[in-house]
Chains A and B, each alone.
Chain A
Amino acid sequence: MKPQSAFEREPARRVFASELRETRYQFKDGEDEKSPTYVILPTGIRSNRIFIVGTLTEKQRQGDQNIFYRGRVVDPTGTFFIMAGSYQPEAMQQLARIEPPAFVAVVGKPNLYTTPDGTCLVSVRVESISVVDRETRDLWVLDTARETLDRLDAFGTTEDSKKAQEEYGTRPELYRKIVYDALTQVQL
């Protein structure tokens, strides 16, 4: 008898807002309708789930038949746009309960959206959101810095990073600078 299926949950990648904002390239891994959709992050890794911690500064309820919530989560490098609709009722209700400003941890799927005038927007479809404390935020900045540096160290050696180079012309030193600036904002 085979061990239970080798399914492995997609890890939630750690990414700073300024990197996610630059994300433009999306692909489907496989032909199937249910095949996962990934984005390639500029520092060179595919991702269909991310974990972010930041300050929820604003939230808005929108739509009347299809209610959904939008929010802005700020990290040391920029802003994430998050949304939770009626397809994620748990996440939507969690978001509905949180009053900004608050430190929040968000697990979600990155989504690319192109406006009619051609600008590309990246939003995060929330799977879960919870209120955390400042220490968790600081830990996340360290964690995200470490993961981003790990990706930069491997840049050019992996398939995904070659793709990233092709799509974005990533300049690793720029992202090192972003990581450095983010770290300097963590107070000792």
Chain B
Amino acid sequence: MNLSEVTERISRKLEANGAQPDRQKIESRLRRLVEEFGVNAAEAERTVTADLAREHHLTGVGMGGNSATELRQIRDVAPNDWVTIEGKVVALTKPVSPSMAQTGIIADSSGAIRFVAWARGNPPAMEYGQWYRVESAVVDEYRGTPNLSIHSGTTISPVEKDIPLLPSITPIAELKPGVGSVRAKVIQDWEVTHDRMLQTGLLGDESGTIKFVIWKEEGKDKLELDAVYNIFYATVDEYNGRLSLALNTAMYITDEGDIEVGRQETEIQGALVHIAPGSGLIKRCPVEGCNRTLSRQNYCPVHEIQPEFRYDLRLKAVLDDGVHAKNVLMQREMVEKLAGITLDEAVQIAETNPLGMDEIFYRIRNAVLGRYYTCSGNEFGGRLLVNSCSPITFEPAELAALLNRAGGEPA
């Protein structure tokens, strides 16, 4: 490669950014790298450009889109990129490990990303609400979530900037692991399942629903059921293919208006081809918030022997339409309706019949196995949690349509 061509290119690039570089200096530096140190021309060009840009206090000068010194929009960064960004610290979280100096969320007008400042790099502490320029950080991926890693080679400098930052709201159905802001309504408030949990439930907007969690922490308030909130910079986590929203990093304020929550209900029709073990009459752990299924010996995997259990009915089965087989899970009310037996009756039968709880399993199985149903509900971890279920009935019109399709005259 002709070095004067490269020199020309570098100086034009710098001039475009308002600097007045010395061409001879550029060429001598290039020559030194290429001839003395055997650096290839492309790498030499990158190095010299970066060096001079730094000397002239320029930003955004680089070799195309991948240079670490070019200012990038947070929305556009991807794992394995070396990036420089400017953003506001919108959340600080408690680091989960002593090797982390600081963790939180940094945002610009395009988006937001979680960051980790590693203690080994002795990074300066960033303050909540302050803008910073973060140079040469690395984007990595942790549990499917992009994460800005601030290491020893990263430069952090405060930026005097006080422009209001308006996070862009994402429809719930389009959230991805990372950080997300939503406008949503609290549609369900669930029992907390953990001591450290302040609140958990379901949020919904027009596009869908998502589980949310608020962990106990000072200054965190509960959300009110049925209220609409603007939630900025919540953490979107993924577990077993399901997303959930942790609000501890988020700012949330109530908003006016109402939201017609879109339910992503799935409806499937088919025959129940398999009734799985664990269906029928079951015992549940009575410990508040536990609700786990007990073994026959009344053993809860967490709370050990629980003689004061609660009875429940449920059905774990496979609904098959001939093309796909889908796991379905039905709660008590539905089982009572389909099997024609109430929980009380089931308990009474189980306590007097020599087969005990097996008797209920067989009764329910005999009532539903091999029959056709329409089920609708929400999918959760590859299983349909059935909200409504009804037997399919015979439609003469269907018969006529199929006769026509088979190519004959209706009989």
In the complex, the answer to whether B239 meets A147 with C-beta atoms within 8 Å is no
Mark the stretch among A63-71, A102-110, A115-123 that contacts chain B. A102-110
Asked if B324 is at the interface (CB within 8 A of a chain A CB), the reply is yes
CB contacts (< 8 Å) of A51 on chain B: these are: 271, 273, 320, 322, 370
Bound together, the chains give a CA A42 to CA B382 distance in angstroms of 32
B48 to chain A, nearest CB (A): 44
- A132 vs B369: C-alpha distance when bound (angstroms): 8
Q: Verify if B405 is at the interface (C-beta below 8 Å from A).
A: yes
- For A118-157 the 0/1 string (1 means CB < 8 A from B) is 0000000001111110011011101101110100000000
CA distance A39 to B281 in the complex (A): 38
- Stretch of B57-65, B185-193, B248-256, B395-403 that contacts chain A: B395-403
Whether A4 contacts B323 by the Cβ 8 Å rule is no
Q: B65: shortest Cβ distance to chain A, in Å?
A: 31
Q: Is B318 an interface residue (CB 8 A)?
A: yes
State whether the Cβ of B116 lies closer than 8 Å to any Cβ in chain A. Answer: no
Contacts of B275 in A (CB 8 A): 128
B394 and A135: CB pair below 8 A?
Answer: yes
Question: Is the CB–CB distance between B369 and A180 below 8 Å?
Answer: no
Q: How far is the CA of A142 from the CA of B393 in the complex (A)?
A: 11
B393 and A135 form a contact (CB under 8 A): yes
Would you give the shortest CB distance from A136 to chain B, in whole angstroms?
5
B336 interface residue per 8 A CB criterion: no
B407 interface residue (CB < 8 Å to A): yes
Query: Nearest chain A CB to B150's CB is how many angstroms away?
Result: 25
Cross-chain contact A180 with B241 (CB below 8 angstroms): no
CA distance A47 to B324 in the complex (A): 12
Q: How far is the CA of A107 from the CA of B319 in the complex (A)?
A: 12
Closest to A15 in B: B322
Whether the Cβ atoms of A107 and B406 lie closer than 8 Å is no
* CB pair B325 A10 closer than 8 Å: yes
Asked if B411 is at the interface of the complex by the 8 Å CB criterion, the answer is yes
Q: Which A residues touch B411, using CB under 8 A?
A: 183-184
CA distance A9 to B245 in the complex (A): 31
Q: Which residues of B contact A9 (CB under 8 A)?
A: 274, 318, 320, 325, 327
State whether A104 and B370 are in contact (beta carbons under 8 Å apart), knowing that A128-B274, A180-B406, A180-B407 are contacts in the complex.
Answer: yes
Q: Is B399's CB under 8 angstroms from A105's CB? A: no
CA distance A149 to B274 in the complex (A): 25
Interface string of A1-27 (1 = CB under 8 A from B): 101100011111110000000000000
B271:A145 contact, CB within 8 angstroms? no
Residues 368-392 of B at the A interface (beta carbon under 8 Å): 369-372, 381-382, 392
Q: Which of A143-188 contact B (CB under 8 A)?
A: 143, 145-147, 149, 173, 176-177, 179-180, 183-184, 186, 188
Is residue A92 contacting chain B, with contact meaning CB distance below 8 A? Answer: no
Q: Which among B273, B325, B405 is the interface contact of A149 at CB below 8 angstroms?
A: B405
Most chain A beta-carbon contacts within 10 A, residue among B322, B392, B393, B408: B322
CB distance from B373 to the nearest CB of A (A): 10
B305 to chain A, nearest CB (A): 29
The verdict on B240 contacting chain A, using a C-beta distance below 8 Å, is yes
B372 is contacted by which of A8, A129, A136, A147 (Cβ under 8 Å)?
Answer: A136
Shortest CB-to-CB span from B360 to chain A, Å, is 16
Task: Give min CB distance, A84 to chain B, whole Å.
Answer: 15
Is A83 located at the chain interface by the 8 A CB criterion?
no
A1 touches B399 (CB 8 A): no
Does the CB pair A188–B399 fall under 8 Å? yes
The answer, yes or no, to whether B365 is at the interface (CB within 8 Å) is: yes
Q: Which residues of A lie under 8 Å from residue B140 when comparing CB positions?
A: none
- B333 at the A/B interface (Cβ < 8 Å)? no
Say yes or no: A139 contacts B372, CB within 8 Å.
yes
Does A138 lie within 8 Å of B394, measured CB to CB? Answer: yes
Q: How far is the CB of A35 from chain B (nearest CB, A)?
A: 19
A142 engages B274 (CB within 8 Å): no
| CA A9 to CA B324, docked complex, whole Å | 8
Q: Known contacts A4-B240, A13-B322, A176-B407: does B402 contact A183 (CB below 8 Å)?
A: yes
- New A-B contacts (4) at CB < 8 Å, excluding given A1-B239, A53-B370: A105-B371, A176-B407, A183-B411, A184-B411
Binding site for A on B (CB under 8 A): 143-144, 238-241, 271, 273-275, 318, 320-325, 327, 365-366, 369-372, 381-382, 392-394, 396, 398-399, 402-403, 405-408, 411
A to B CB contacts below 8 Å, 14 in the list:
A4-B382, A8-B324, A11-B320, A12-B322, A105-B369, A130-B365, A136-B370, A138-B394, A139-B394, A146-B402, A149-B405, A177-B406, A180-B408, A183-B411
The 5 closest A-B pairs by CB, nearest first: A105-B370, A3-B241, A180-B406, A9-B325, A130-B369
